[in-house]
Structure 1
Amino acid sequence: MNKINYQVCATCIHFAISKTESGMLYRCSRLGFETKPAYSFRCWQPKEHVVRLMKKRGGSNNE
C-alpha cells in the first residue's frame, strides 16, 4: 500500500476535532483553518498508529 491510501486529514497529527452547539468542527491545527476528514494537504504528517500500519502493510511515510 502507498501513502495515498492513508494521506487524508483524519490520519494527520494536526487534525483536531471539537464539538460545538452547531455540530462537529474539524480543523487543521497547523494551518489554522477548517477542513474535512477526507481532505489532503502536502503538509500531512501521519499519526503514530498510521505509521505502524503503513510499515506493517509494506508502505512508509516517505514514499
Structure 2
Amino acid sequence: MENPFHACASCIHFRATREELGMKYYCTRLGYETKPHYQFNCWSPKERVRKLMEKREGTCS
C-alpha cells in the first residue's frame, strides 16, 4: 500500500525559500532542487508527520 504522507514536503530535508521569481524547493540531503510532491527512497518524515502517521495507524495512545 502506498503511503499518502510520503512526499518531499513532509521530509526533514525539505527546504522552501521565497525568491523574486517565486518559490524554490530544495533537498538538503540530495543537494538539488525538488518539488513538494516528489518522492524519493531517502524520505525521512518530519516529527509531526510521523506522529500523524502513528495516530492514523492507531498505534499512538
TM-score (norm 1): 0.85
Specify the structure having the higher radius of gyration (Cα).
Answer: 2
Bigger relative contact order, structure 1 or 2 (CA pairs below 8 A, ≥6 apart): 1
Deviations 1:6-56 (A, max 9, x none): 110000000000111111000001101010000000000000000000000
Q: Distance in 2 between matches of 1:53 and 1:29?
A: 23
SS in 2 for 1:57: helix
Equivalence for 2:53: 54
Q: How does 1:1-63 map to 2 (within 5 A)?
A: 4-58=3-57
Query: In angstroms, what is the RMSD of aligned CA positions?
Result: 1.8
Report percent identity of matched pairs.
Answer: 53
Question: Runs of 4 or more off by more than 3 Å in structure 1?
Answer: none
Structure 2 gaps of 5+ residues are none
The alignment covers a number of residue pairs equal to 59
Structure 2 SS opposite 1:25: strand
